[in-house]
Amino acid sequence: QHNPHTKHGRTAIVHLFEWRWADIAAECERFLAPNGYAGVQISPPNEHITLTTPWYPWWQRYQPTGYNLCSRSGNENELRDMITRCNNVGVNIYVDVVINHMCGAGGGEGTHSSCGGWFSASRKDFPSIPFTNMDFNDHKCRTGSGNIENYGDPNQVRDCRLVGLLDLALEKDCVRGKVAGFMNKLVDMGVAGFRVDACKHMWPGDLQNTLGRLHNLNTKWFSGGSRPFIYQEVIDLGGEPITSREYFHLGRVTEFKYGAKLGTIFRKWNGEKLSYTKSWGEGYGFMPDGNALVFIDNHDNQRGHGAGGAAIATFWDPRIHKMAVAYMLAHPYGVARVMSSFRWDRNFVNGKDQNDWIGPPSHGNGATKPVPINPDQTCGDGWVCEHRWRQIKNMATFRNVVNGQPHANWWDNQSNQVAFGRGNRGFIVFNNDDWNLDVTLNTGMPGGTYCDVVSGNKDGGRCSGKQIQVGGDGRAHFKISNKDEDPFVAIHADSKL
């Protein structure tokens, strides 16, 4: 189902990667709702393997060992409390669910799992669910290693092990039932939908059956008959037989071309220019608007996993990151997701980060640290909190203010200076060239004085940053130095003095 069921005209989703439930609950109340964020993607809430070599990597949560709801982010009570409190302030929760597989085949046997439940990877035995060795695909997989070896062969991509992860037989009624039961528990608790992990590795028919078993959303917070929002992780950059299109009827699909392309454009690699983005969206060869879930970076490709490579614009390149996120949030295409990260010590050896596995800020024993909020509203203890950066937060508001308005009043200098508006509700100007921008443009906005929401805020009756004068004819003069901290300017109906 393609509708995110967002509330109060809110639009953007934020991925609070690896945050604890208690911190997300507080963030919904103190920051996300007041600033108009629509929802949160949470890390997988179910029981997962715990590993010590490497030391509690972030990716251990992509290795389920059961469907009990305790994880590095907290226990079931904390999860329920978070869902309730976020819903009560109109912020939706979307759960990252890992249903293609269980833990790695080499995951051993014992109680090294986040709820302390016993499991055996070697015997494919997960008694808390239960799944037994009958519930896995090994008899169907035809590769020598039992792993996926060739992405050109859809059968092995769906029936063999993704990097050694025990592959569930989602064709079986009892497996479908267990998976749907797990997801339904979350639906009944009040979540609004799911980010479904590794969908390329599941047959669309199996997914359709499983998702068809889901309950309607909890009517305490959603109108009767609402179906869970589904967005499926399928990495389709072209060139493989499995395409995003096979999944369109089930829900939205992650559009990985979006961030890879926009990162390349803002980096000005391969002769790319911002002016080429006049037809950004479907006109750029992306999937249909109604199917797309878009993002600049995600938890994989910000650290060299997944797809997109070095072009991806992450918080490590803040200037480019802010521009790319602002472009996404200003543009009407797709449902947009903002990444919120933690910092780690990168260590590149021959272009590969040796520390790409490092988990969230922790006390050393694998227990995740809370997110402390500094007096200036930024986060401490290694939490980056991109979603709190003024430029990004204000663009999330911009997206709400211009929601439903058409892309309008495009301008470009045939290089890397562009501008566009959204009906008569908002206008944004970028200067990604190595020289100044100094131009008068038709904004389509009513005359008046507007605060630029990139360099500052509208604070009471005045602007803390730049001020933009729009004439009665809708025209306004923009000056953006290529040396500005953030070489872009955005105004919208609610930033008018």
167 binds, options Ca ion, ligand QV4, none, Cβ within 5 to 8 A by partner type: Ca ion
**Of 167 and 272, which has the nearer Cβ to Ca ion?**
167
Nearest to 107 by CA among 126, 93, 90, 92: 126
**Of 201 and 466, which has the nearer Cβ to Ca ion?**
201
438 is catalytic: no
Residue 197 contacts Ca ion per CB under 5 A: no
Residue 18 contacts ligand QV4 per CB under 6 A: no
Q: Helices 173-189 & 76-88, crossing angle to 10 degrees?
A: 50
Stretch that binds ligand QV4, among 24-32, 196-204, 368-376, 400-408 (CB under 6 A): 196-204
Q: How far is the CB of 307 from ligand QV4 (least distance, A)?
A: 6
Q: How far is the CB of 347 from ligand QV4 (least distance, A)?
A: 16
Q: How far is the CB of 359 from ligand QV4 (least distance, A)?
A: 11
**Chain CA centroid to CA 258, Å:** 12
Residue 241 contacts ligand QV4 per CB under 6 A: no
Residue 165 contacts ligand QV4 per CB under 6 A: yes
Residue whose beta carbon is closest to Ca ion? 201
Among 27, 78, 135, 167, binds Ca ion (CB under 5 A): 167
Residue 207 contacts ligand QV4 per CB under 6 A: no
288 binds, options ligand QV4, Ca ion, none, Cβ within 5 to 8 A by partner type: none
Q: Which of 197, 206, 236, 356 is catalytic?
A: 197
Q: Which of 233, 246, 300, 486 is catalytic?
A: 233
Question: Contact, 158 vs 58, CB < 8 A?
Answer: no
**Of 79 and 170, which has the nearer Cβ to Ca ion?**
170
98 binds, options Ca ion, ligand QV4, none, Cβ within 5 to 8 A by partner type: ligand QV4
Among 11, 46, 63, 275, binds ligand QV4 (CB under 6 A): 63
Residue 106 contacts ligand QV4 per CB under 6 A: yes
**Of 61 and 227, which has the nearer Cβ to ligand QV4?**
61
486 is catalytic: no
**Of 100 and 301, which has the nearer Cβ to Ca ion?**
100
233 binds, options ligand QV4, Ca ion, none, Cβ within 5 to 8 A by partner type: ligand QV4
- In whole angstroms, give the CA distance from residue 386 to residue 371: 13
Radius of gyration of the chain (CA): 23
Which residues make Cβ contacts (< 8 Å) with residue 284, sequence separation at least 6?
A: 257, 261, 277
- Which two structure tokens, joined as six digits, stand for 182? 């797990």
Residue 197 contacts ligand QV4 per CB under 6 A: yes
Q: Which residues bind ligand QV4 (CB under 6 A)?
A: 59-60, 62-63, 98, 104-106, 147, 162-165, 197-198, 200, 233, 235, 300, 305-306
Active site residues: 197, 233
Q: Which residues bind Ca ion (CB under 5 A)?
A: 100, 167, 201
